[in-house]
């Protein structure tokens, strides 16, 4: 069978590495000199014209014209042109680790280089560096895709996100904003007196949300543990321990399917504020959204999924029970589940056997939510949908909970925290009964948390949102909104071809089987 084009290119580049080594050039030195970002030079040319600098980057283009080469190198800030002249460029030198003009054929598009020389403009007016020295910083074995925009397989972009970011700088810029999003969130909370405390990811009992957890095994304890589905219960233990304003930002894990708004693994923020209630939380939430979006985007008006969103206006207040009654003509507390489920089926949603009041009402609400632009706060959520929230003093059927609604989605959850240990225990028992009936997303009994409440926890409001907020304001899907979304492990045919001699070591399923077999071996 003939070799693929990629395998042939790789062989040629391996030969180039051998030639470089024969010249005494290290294809993978440990350091490169970088005086400025490329963008700094391009945007402030008069300041640097005629000065000698050292710039670095990946070669993104290469055009030869006799004894002149025009190329572009790209660093994290952008591109700048290399204007390479034979008479200006120093000769190949083992001592200086430089490449002369006659050896530039050992370079390829995709290689990382360092260029030392004078800042100038070409006759066509393009700002350039006229290098007297070129040093190789990293030799590539594979070519960059020529037309990354033309790739129709979206998963290919996700699997090789490093190429996606190289060919599409706007993708990398999105992840820079993602970092700023969490930095701004931290800055806002710190400014408002909150303290960040990191809490465990592995838990004996997981809770704080209706979600199916991932399970792992802790060898040292010889016990199965859960990856957290929320930050809630440990943070509230901190409130019980004397913290008054506390938060954590980090990954959480929910063993569920993918959608444009959901990923099983994602980053989330939760904060808890003692001696405050949900009304205080609503005010802080509005301030937080405005602060973060202004820091990240420099504006408060957005178009998100067809909705015009103005964060600077007063947020609308919506009532859960009234919305359900008005839209579907049902009483979510008194009407039988069968009646409400028939309404749901008429709307085209079939839950199959997973039918109980919680699931039916929640799915009916989702049909209403998708048409709400916001920004708005949803209030009056029923107690049976919120097992950790404090009951409303005037209506015990609902809880003091609010949810920010923007562009047809709940972007956060928050409520006055339940601190009555007897009430909490009863709700945990109700949730356990749902689990016994087959609802694997119902919450688990956490008796240690109940005992904490029996020692006393002050009144508090708690809030949480995931990076779905960021995805929405970026107007992208969940997978587009994270650098490395989870994907099913696969080996391409070209990978098997190139590494055929060691394929058994790189086949993930083989490794997993080997690991499982070693675990099963009896102890000596």
Q: DSSP letters of 471-505?
A: HHHHT--TTTTSSS--------HHHHHHTGGGHHH
pLDDT of amino acid 384: 85
Q: How confident is the model at residue 522 (pLDDT cuts 50, 70, 90)?
A: very low
Topology of domain 5-138, CATH: OB fold (Dihydrolipoamide Acetyltransferase, E2P) (2.40.50)
- Strands 401-406 and 413-416, by their bridges, are antiparallel
Q: Is pLDDT at 519 greater than 70 in this prediction?
A: no
- The pTM is what? 0.88
Sign of CA dihedral 238, 242, 243, 245: positive
Backbone Cα Rg of the chain:
29
Q: Is pLDDT at 524 greater than 50 in this prediction?
A: no
pLDDT of amino acid 508: 63
Q: Choose the CATH number for 166-315+374-474 among 3.40.50.2300, 3.30.930.10, 3.40.50.140, 2.60.120.680.
A: 3.30.930.10
Percent of residues in the chain assigned helix, strand, coil, to nearest 5: 35, 25, 40
Mean pLDDT to the nearest integer, 69-78: 97
DSSP strands (E only) in 254-322: 265-274, 301-304, 307-310, 316-319
Q: How confident is the model at residue 444 (pLDDT cuts 50, 70, 90)?
A: confident
pLDDT of amino acid 523: 43
**416, 389 contact by CB (below 8 A):** yes
**229, 207 contact by CB (below 8 A):** yes
Q: Using DSSP, state whether 280 is helix, strand or coil.
A: helix
Q: What is the largest CA-CA distance in the chain?
A: 89
The span from the CA of 321 to the CA of 332, in Å, is 7
The span from the CA of 292 to the CA of 472, in Å, is 14
pLDDT of amino acid 1: 46
pLDDT above 90 coverage of the chain, percent: 72
What are the boundaries of each domain within the chain?
Answer: 5-138, 166-315+374-474, 489-524
Q: How confident is the model at residue 147 (pLDDT cuts 50, 70, 90)?
A: low
């Amino acid at each position: 069978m003939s070799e693929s084009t990629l395998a042939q290119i790789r062989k040629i580049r391996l030969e180039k590495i051998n030639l470089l080594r024969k010249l005494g050039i290290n294809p993978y030195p440990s350091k490169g000199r970088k005086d400025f970002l490329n963008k700094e030079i391009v945007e402030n040319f008069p300041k640097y014209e005629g000065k000698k600098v050292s710039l670095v980057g990946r070669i993104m283009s290469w055009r030869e014209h006799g004894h002149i080469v025009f190329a572009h190198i790209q660093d994290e800030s952008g591109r700048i042109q290399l204007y390479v002249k034979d008479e200006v460029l120093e000769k190949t030198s083992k001592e200086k680790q430089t490449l002369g003009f006659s050896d530039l054929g050992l370079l390829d598009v995709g290689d990382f280089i360092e260029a030392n020389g004078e800042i100038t403009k070409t006759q066509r007016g393009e700002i350039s560096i006229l290098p007297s020295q070129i040093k190789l910083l990293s030799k590539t074995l594979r070519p960059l895709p020529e037309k990354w925009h033309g790739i129709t397989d979206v998963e290919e972009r996700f699997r090789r996100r490093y190429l996606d970011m190289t060919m599409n700088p706007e993708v990398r810029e999105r992840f820079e904003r993602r970092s700023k999003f969490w930095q701004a969130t931290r800055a806002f909370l710190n400014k408002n007196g909150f303290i960040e405390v990191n809490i465990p990811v592995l838990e004996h009992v997981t809770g704080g949300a209706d979600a199916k957890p991932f399970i792992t095994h802790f060898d040292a304890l010889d016990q199965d543990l859960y990856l957290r589905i929320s930050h809630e219960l440990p943070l509230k233990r901190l409130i019980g321990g004397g913290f008054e304003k506390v938060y954590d930002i980090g990954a959480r894990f929910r063993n569920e399917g993918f959608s444009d708004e959901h990923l099983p693994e994602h980053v989330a923020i939760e904060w808890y504020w003692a001696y405050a209630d949900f009304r205080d939380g609503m005010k802080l939430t509005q301030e937080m959204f405005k602060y973060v979006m202004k820091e990240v985007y420099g504006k408060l008006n957005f178009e998100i999924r067809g909705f015009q969103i103005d964060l600077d206006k007063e947020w609308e207040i919506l009532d859960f029970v009234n919305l359900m009654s008005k839209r579907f003509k049902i009483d979510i507390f008194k009407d039988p589940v069968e009646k409400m489920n028939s309404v749901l089926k008429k709307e085209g949603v079939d839950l199959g056997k997973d039918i109980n009041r919680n699931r039916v009402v929640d799915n009916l609400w989702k049909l209403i939510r998708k048409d709400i632009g916001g920004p708005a706060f949803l209030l009056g959520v029923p107690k049976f949908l919120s097992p950790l929230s404090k009951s409303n003093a005037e209506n015990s059927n609902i809880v003091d909970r609010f949810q920010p609604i923007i562009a047809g989605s709940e972007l956060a959850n928050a409520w006055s925290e339940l601190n009555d240990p007897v009430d909490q225990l009863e709700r945990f028992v109700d949730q356990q009964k749902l689990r016994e009936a087959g609802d694997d997303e119902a919450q688990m009994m956490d008796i240690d948390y109940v005992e904490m409440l029996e020692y006393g926890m002050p009144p508090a409001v708690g809030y949480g949102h995931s990076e779905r907020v960021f995805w929405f304001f970026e107007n992208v899907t969940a997978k587009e909104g994270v650098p490395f979304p989870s994907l099913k492990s696969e080996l391409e045919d070209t990978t098997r071809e190139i590494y055929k001699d060691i394929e058994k070591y790189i086949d993930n399923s083989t490794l997993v089987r080997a690991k499982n077999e070693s675990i099963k071996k009896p102890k000596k």
